[in-house]
Structure 1
Amino acid sequence: MHSTLRPLLNVLLFAGAALAASFAQAQDYPNKPVTLVVGFAPGGSADIMARLLAQKLGDSLGQPVVVDNKPGAGATIATAAVAASRPDGYTLLLVTSGHAGSGALYSRLGYDPLKSFEPVAKVGASPIVIVAPAAGPFRTLKDVIDAARRSPGKLNYAAGGGGATTTSLAAEFLKSDAKIDMVMVPYKGSGPALTALLSGEVDLGFDIPSSALPHIKSGKLRPVAVTTRTRSSVLPEVPTVAEQGIPGFEVTGWFGVLAPAGTPSAIVARLNKDINALLNEPDTKSRLQDLGVEVGTGSPADFGRLIAGDTRRYGDAIRKLGIKVD
Structure 2
Amino acid sequence: MDRRVFNLSRRNLIAAAAGSFVIPVAAQGFPSRAIRIVVPYPAGGTTDILARLIGPKLQEALGQTVIVENKAGAATNLGAEFVARAPADGHTILLGTNVTFSVNPHLYRGLSFNAQRDFTPLVPIALTQTVLLVHPSVRAHSVRDLIALAKEQPGKLSYGSYGSGSLAHLAAAQFATMAGIEMNHVPYKGSAPAMTDLIGGHIQLMFDNIVTALPNAKAGSVRALAVSGARRSLAAPELPTVAESALKGYEVAGWFGFAAPAATSSVVAERISEEINKILALKEIRDRIIASGAEPMIYSPQEFVRFIQSDYLRAGELVRVSGAKAE
TM-score by length of 1: 0.79
Deviation at 1:294, TM superposition (A): 2.7
- How far does the alpha carbon of each residue in 1:71-120 deviate from its partner, in whole angstroms, 9 at most, with x for none? 33332222222212222222221122232122122222222121010101
SS of alignment partner, residue 169 of structure 2: helix
Maintained 8 Å contact 2:165/2:325: no
Between the aligned partners of 1:197 and 1:60, the Cα distance in structure 2 is 45
Return the alpha-carbon distance in structure 1 between the equivalents of residues 197 and 61 of structure 2: 37
Q: Partner amino acid for 1:112?
A: N
State the 1:235 CA deviation.
Answer: 1.2
> What secondary structure is seen at the aligned counterpart in 2 of 1:128?
strand
Give 1:298's aligned residue.
299
Q: Is the 8 A contact 2:150 2:183 kept in 1?
A: no
Q: Does 1:24 align with 2:25?
A: no
Higher alpha-carbon deviation: 208-217 or 57-66: 208-217
Corresponding residue of 2:161: 158
CA shift in 2, pair 1:191/1:235, >3 Å: same
Counterpart in 1 of 2:189? 187
CA contact (8 A) 2:26 2:89 kept: no
1:66 match: secondary structure: strand
Aligned-pair CA distance for 1:173: 1.3
Q: Kindly report which structure 2 residues correspond to 1:1-326, keeping only aligned pairs within 5 A, or say none.
A: 19-26=23-30, 29-32=31-34, 34-98=35-99, 99-132=101-134, 139-142=141-144, 144-145=146-147, 146=149, 150=153, 152=155, 155-159=158-162, 162-178=163-179, 179-187=181-189, 190=191, 203-319=204-320, 322-325=323-326
- Measured after TM superposition, the shift of residue 142 of structure 1 is 4.8
Deviations along 1:198-251, one digit per CA (max 9) or x if unpaired, are: 677765443343454444455555322111233223212212212343232112
After TM superposition, the score normalised by the length of structure 2 is: 0.79
Rounded to whole Å, the distance in 2 between the matches of 1:247 and 1:177 is 9
Residues 41 and 192 in structure 1, CA contact (< 8 A), matched pair in contact too = no
CA contact (8 A) 2:165 2:324 kept: no
2:322 and 2:198 map into 1 onto residues whose CA distance is: 26
8 Å Cα contact 1:196-1:202 kept in structure 2? yes
Taking the aligned partners of 1:138 and 1:42, their CA distance within structure 2 comes to 36
Which is further off, 125-134 or 46-55? 125-134
Q: Structure 2 vs 1, CA of residues 60 and 222 (structure 1 numbering), >3 Å: closer, same or farther?
A: farther
Q: Alpha carbons of 1:193 and 1:322: their partners in 2 closer, same or farther (altered >3 Å)? A: closer
Cα contact 1:149–1:181 (8 A) shared by 2 = no
171-180 or 116-125, which deviates more: 171-180
- RMSD value, Cα: 3.2
Deviations 1:280-303 (A, max 9, x none): 111111222333433211221111
Letter of the structure 1 residue corresponding to residue 295 of structure 2? E
Q: 1:287 to 1:171 in 2, by over 3 A?
A: same
* Shift in CA distance, 120/235, structure 1 to aligned 2, threshold 3 Å: same
Tell me how far apart the structure 2 counterparts of residues 254 and 117 of structure 1 sit (CA, whole Å). 17
C-alpha change, 1:197 and 1:46, in structure 2 (3 Å) is farther
Judging changes above 3 Å, is the alpha-carbon distance between structure 1 residues 229 and 37 closer, same or farther for their aligned structure 2 residues? same
Q: How far apart, CA to CA, are the structure 2 residues paired with 1:182 and 1:296?
A: 34
Determine the C-alpha separation between the residues in 1 that align with 2:73 and 2:199. 21
Number of the residue aligned with 1:11: none
Q: Secondary structure at the match of 2:23?
A: helix
Deviation at 1:135, TM superposition (A): 8.0
What secondary structure is seen at the aligned counterpart in 2 of 1:256?
A: strand
1:238-280 CA-partner distances (Å, limit 9, x unpaired): 1221234323211232211111111222221121111001101
Shift of the 57–130 alpha-carbon distance from structure 1 to 2, 3 Å rule, reads farther
Question: Structure 2: how far apart are the matches of 1:173 and 1:131?
Answer: 15
- Correspondence for 2:16: none
Cα-to-partner distance string for 1:39-69 (whole Å, 9 max, x where unaligned): 3333333233222222332333333433333
Distance 1:119 1:317, change over 3 A: same
How many equivalent residue pairs? 305
